[in-house]
Amino acid sequence: MSPSRKPTQASRRSVYHRPVSLVNKPTHFCPGCGHGTAHKLIAEVLDSLKIREKTIGVAPVGCAVMAYYYLNCDISEAAHGRTPAVATGIKRCLPDRIVFSYQGDGDLAAIGMAETIHAANRGENITVIFVNNSVYGMTGGQMAPTTLSGQKTVTSPCGRDAHTMGSPIRVCELLNTLDAPWHIERVALDSPAGVRKTRKALLTAFKGQMEGKGYSLVEILSPCPIHMRLSPLEAVRFVKEGMVPAFPLGVFRREGKPVA
Amino acid sequence: MSPRLYSLTIDRERCKGCELCVDVCPRTVLALSPKLNSRGQHYAFVTNPASCIGCAQCSDMCPDAAIEIDEEESAHA
Amino acid sequence: MRKRVLMNGNDAIGEGAIRAGCEAYFGYPITPQNELTSYMANHMQAHGRVFIQAESEVAAVNMVFGAAVTGRRAMTSSSSPGISLKQEGLSYLAAAELPSVIVNVQRGGPGLGNIAPSQSDYFQATKGGGHGDYHLIVLAPYTVQEMHDFTIDAFALADRYRNPVMLLTDGRLGQMMEPLTLYAGRPQKIPAKPWALTGAKGRKPNHIRSLLLEDGALEQRNLHLQAKYKTILNELVGYDEYLTSDATVLVVAYGSSARIARGAIDQARAKGVKAGLLRPITLWPFPRARIRQLAGKVRGILVVEMSAGQMIEDVQLSAGDRVPLAFEGRMGGGIPEESAVVRAIQRLAKPPQRSARK
Ligand SMILES: Cc1ncc(C[n+]2csc(CCOP(=O)(O)OP(=O)(O)O)c2C)c(N)n1
Ligand code: SF4
Ligand code: SF4
Ligand code: SF4
């Protein structure tokens, strides 16, 4: 079960408490934003694996650029898309530390695709947390590589047209063609069950890194109510009904082997 | 067997009123307050504590980690 | 007596880096610096250090960023087109004040250019190159010995000033073989780096960042950087002089061009013209004050570069209008002829004629 922030009084048993790895201050994320959930889950996993003090995160630009305000561990910035390269530099120098990158879809799958593929292909022993919210959040809701076909964004005002703008890139499937990755999984923040699966996936990924297993990537389908132009509840529904059919959930790579 | 008792604490300053917790609660324990927090947002509050089954779906779903849940020992007695 | 060895300039840099305690090297193939990347491939792993052939120069410089974030000494090298790709990373390294060493073995440009030696990246190296108000410390070796020694200095300076340091050299020096004495001193003491990211064990988390959105924070960071650059300007200017004390013509040249200039100065002296050389060792900070001083004593200044004339702008700024300034250089991988430099010196040595001003 979830780790607890502080030992509760003897008369109580904790069901859920905020993780200590999460700084206790309100975030700047919009209401219903999946980044908040993802941060919370990372913090829970750092708590439960007791690795907060040996973890170094890398956060590039994107709505999560201020991860250092919220995650109570060492964190470095990275230039847009260069996140896996920065994470590689850190991990190679400090192989006994736990290194994760936290990247949006623009960062990971557009400007940083080369770095993404090559870090995966080298089997860097890092954990990549890929928040796929189908748009560029920070810059105002532009089309992302993961924008759905037909989805309207400020730069695809008539909807994404596959013939001229490409189709959504399925990153897990793409990386699963490589030999090196150890764990690749796609989850969705579309329900409490989805949140639990996400927690478990992150746990698997970080644990694998601790055991020196190699590259892990967890793609989290995540609501961005603002730029999906939906209420928080509708955005969660969009993740479930719009994104999940386009980005099938599941484990693609387990223990270094593609899952049939 | 007596029913278990759960106490929910909602940090209204962390809450952004997204309603995700209200939506997922299977027992309609939560609701959005008509009042505003210091950041001008409606916040979730507990309307119906006795119905809570401690399933933690609300706290899992909450993007802002605003909900904490404890099980009251006395309920086991 | 310490043993002398024969090495090319690129290898000499590599061996310098290893002896300076460089813990991580990241590169991407490009001529004329490939010897350096192979040297590191062969020797870093043997020393239990990090070597990665990155997927691009962009990735390589960002791997340096990551390594530097941990407080380790890290280096990347490339040649002109690859250095262009690194500019984003250099701006971030400078902004985050991460000690790091970048080697540019220049080749002819612009564009893909050619693989012949050049000095046409002077502006890029000394004036910025990436975005924002920042400076690299730029060192210009002119022998294989200096390629080695300055690499070691570069790591020390990077740590001392928390700043990226560029070794600006060219393909001729990179591939030239010369005897040199390898550094055999004690391993340098690496200063404590309490800012480094090592895991927040027993301390508050450290953050490395250049995004500063809080009110006035970015201006503060910039003021801090400018104050540091001022300190560097005061402390670090380096240059070398050859026969300047009685010179009537001053030649200013760095790196490979300085080698040509030296030969030309000897020839000019044989012909009765007292020429002397000022060779900037630090291109940033530039030896402005010394050039200004010498400008008051000579009849003319000749700048020799393997470019259309880039450093000459700094010489002009230093010397002002007090003395005629001439340029001798070639572009696109061409190397100035010693005889052409001699002729240019002779022209400047002539007593000023009324019509001589161009
Ligand atoms: C080199 C560069 N280009 C563009 C930008 C502007 N920019 C900031 S964040 C961003 C994309 C954000 O989208 P994503 O990575 O999907 O993250 P999100 O904000 O959705 O979480 C862009 C293009 C930048 N900072 N640097
Ligand atoms: S714009 Fe989207 S991704 Fe960014 S904070 Fe708001 S909801 Fe989250
Ligand atoms: S723990 Fe379950 S029952 Fe109780 S308020 Fe939360 S969602 Fe409702
Ligand atoms: S899910 Fe969290 S932030 Fe949203 S209304 Fe409920 S308590 Fe508030």
Structure confidence at residue C354 (pLDDT): 57
Query: Residue C356 — pLDDT band, cuts 50, 70, 90?
Result: very low
CA-nearest of A195, A166, C65 to B57 is A195
* Cis peptide bond N-terminal to C194, omega within 30: no
The size of chain A, in residues, is 260
Structure confidence at residue A3 (pLDDT): 47
Which residue do the tokens 């491939």 mark?
C41
What's the mean per-residue pLDDT of chain A? 95
Identify whether residues C231 and C254 lie together within a single domain: no
Query: Tokens standing for C273?
Result: 């013209």
CATH number at residue C344: 3.40.50.920
Domain of residue B21, residue span: 6-71
Phi and psi (nearest 5°) for C225? -60, -45
CATH number at residue C101: 3.40.50.970
Quote the CA–CA distance of A127 and A177 in Å, as a whole number: 18
Q: Give a yes or no: residue B19 inside a domain.
A: yes
Q: For A74-112, how does the pLDDT look when each residue is reduced to its tens digit (9 = 90+)?
A: 999 999 999 999 999 999 999 999 999 999 999 999 999
Q: Give a yes or no: residue C290 inside a domain.
A: yes
A touches C, CB cut-off 8 Å, minimum 3 pairs = yes
Query: Tokens standing for A142?
Result: 């532009």
Q: Give a yes or no: residue B76 inside a domain.
A: no
Q: For C226-253, how does the pLDDT look when each residue is reduced to its tens digit (9 = 90+)?
A: 999 999 999 999 999 999 999 999 999 9
Give the gap in angstroms from C-alpha B25 to the nearest C-alpha of chain A. Answer: 10
**Average pLDDT of span C93-113:** 98
**Average pLDDT of span C128-147:** 97
Identify whether residues C169 and C280 lie together within a single domain: no
CA-nearest of A57, A63, A60 to A34 is A63
- Domain tally for chain B? 1
Which residue do the tokens 């920070």 mark?
A138
Domain borders along chain A are: 27-258
Q: For A205-236, b where at least 16 C-beta lie within 10 A, e where not — what string?
A: bbbbbeeebbbbbbbbbbbbbbbbebebbebb
A226 has a pLDDT exceeding 50:
yes
Say if residues A212 and B2 touch (Cβ distance below 8 Å): no
Q: In degrees, to the nearest 5, what angle opens at C-alpha C170 toward C-alphas C164 and C175?
A: 120
How large a percentage of chain C has pLDDT more than 70? 98
A37 has a pLDDT exceeding 60:
yes
Q: For A197-208, how does the pLDDT look when each residue is reduced to its tens digit (9 = 90+)?
A: 999 999 999 999
Ligand 1 pocket, A144 CB below 6 A?
A: yes
Identify whether residues C107 and C224 lie together within a single domain: yes
Beta strand spans in chain C (E): 4-8, 24-27, 50-53, 74-78, 100-106, 137-139, 164-170, 177-181, 207-208, 239-242, 249-252, 275-280, 282-284, 300-305, 325-329
Alpha carbon of C155 to those of A88, C5, C247, C335: distances in Å?
21, 22, 35, 30
CATH number at residue B15: 3.30.70.20
Query: Residue A10 — pLDDT band, cuts 50, 70, 90?
Result: low
DSSP state of C352: P
Interface of A with C (CB under 8 A): 52-56, 58, 61, 65-66, 68, 71-79, 82, 85-94, 97-98, 114-115, 117-118, 122
Say if residues A74 and A47 touch (Cβ distance below 8 Å): no
Q: For B22-70, how does the pLDDT look when each residue is reduced to its tens digit (9 = 90+)?
A: 999 999 999 999 999 999 999 999 999 999 999 999 999 999 999 999 9
Query: Residue C352 — pLDDT band, cuts 50, 70, 90?
Result: low
Distance of alpha carbon A187 from the chain centroid: 9
CA-nearest of A234, A246, A240, A248 to A194 is A240
| B54 C-beta neighbours (distance < 10 Å), count | 19
| A244 C-beta neighbours (distance < 10 Å), count | 16
Query: Tokens standing for A174?
Result: 């793409």
Identify whether residues C161 and C88 lie together within a single domain: yes
For atom 4 of ligand 4, the residue with the nearest CA is B18
Query: Residue A237 — pLDDT band, cuts 50, 70, 90?
Result: very high
Say if residues C15 and C39 touch (Cβ distance below 8 Å): yes
C158 has a pLDDT exceeding 60:
yes
Q: Which residues of chain A neighbour C26 with C-beta distances below 8 Å?
A: 89
Q: In degrees, to the nearest 5, what angle opens at C-alpha A95 toward C-alphas C103 and A49?
A: 140
**Average pLDDT of span C172-187:** 95
Q: How far is the CA of B25 from the centre of ligand 3 (A)?
A: 5
DSSP-assigned letters across all residues of A193-206: HHHHHHHHHHHHHH
- Domain tally for chain C? 2
Query: Tokens standing for A44?
Result: 């829970």
Q: What is the complex's ipTM, to 2 decimals? A: 0.95
Question: In CATH, what number does A27-258 get?
Answer: 3.40.50.970
DSSP alpha helices (H): ranges in C96-191?
122-127, 144-161, 171-175
The size of chain C, in residues, is 358
Strand C239-242 and strand C164-170: pairing? Answer: unpaired
Structure confidence at residue C3 (pLDDT): 81
Q: Give a yes or no: residue C356 inside a domain.
A: no
Which residue do the tokens 């609701």 mark?
B31
Nearest chain A residue (CA) to C214: A66
How would you class C354 by CB atoms within 10 Å of its CB: exposed for 0-12, middle for 13-18, buried for 19 or more? exposed
**Which of A61, A103, A224 for mutating ligand 2's site (highest number of atoms within 8 Å of CB)?**
A224
Q: Give a yes or no: residue B44 inside a domain.
A: yes
Structure confidence at residue B2 (pLDDT): 57
The size of chain B, in residues, is 77
Say if residues A84 and A127 touch (Cβ distance below 8 Å): no
Q: How far is the CA of A111 from the centre of ligand 1 (A)?
A: 9
Q: Give a yes or no: residue B12 inside a domain.
A: yes
Give the gap in angstroms from C-alpha A59 to the nearest C-alpha of chain C. Answer: 10
| C134 C-beta neighbours (distance < 10 Å), count | 21
Say if residues C244 and C276 touch (Cβ distance below 8 Å): yes
Q: How far is the CA of A22 from the centre of ligand 4 (A)?
A: 17
A1 has a pLDDT exceeding 90:
no
**Average pLDDT of span C84-94:** 98
How would you class C290 by CB atoms within 10 Å of its CB: exposed for 0-12, middle for 13-18, buried for 19 or more? middle
Quote the CA–CA distance of A186 and B70 in Å, as a whole number: 31
pTM of the model: 0.95
Domain of residue C105, residue span: 4-235
CA-nearest of C87, C100, C118, C103 to C14 is C103
**Average pLDDT of span C294-301:** 97
Query: Tokens standing for C119?
Result: 């000095």
Alpha carbon of B75 to those of A15, B6, C49: distances in Å?
14, 9, 60
Q: Give a yes or no: residue C354 inside a domain.
A: no
CA-nearest of C145, B54, C199, C44 to A16 is B54
Identify whether residues C255 and C290 lie together within a single domain: yes
For atom 8 of ligand 2, the residue with the nearest CA is A33
Using only C-alpha atoms, what is the Rg of chain A?
A: 17
Q: Give a yes or no: residue B45 inside a domain.
A: yes
Query: Residue C2 — pLDDT band, cuts 50, 70, 90?
Result: confident
Q: For C222-249, b where at least 16 C-beta lie within 10 A, e where not — what string?
A: eeebeeebeebbeebbebeebbbeebeb
Distance of alpha carbon B17 from the chain centroid: 12
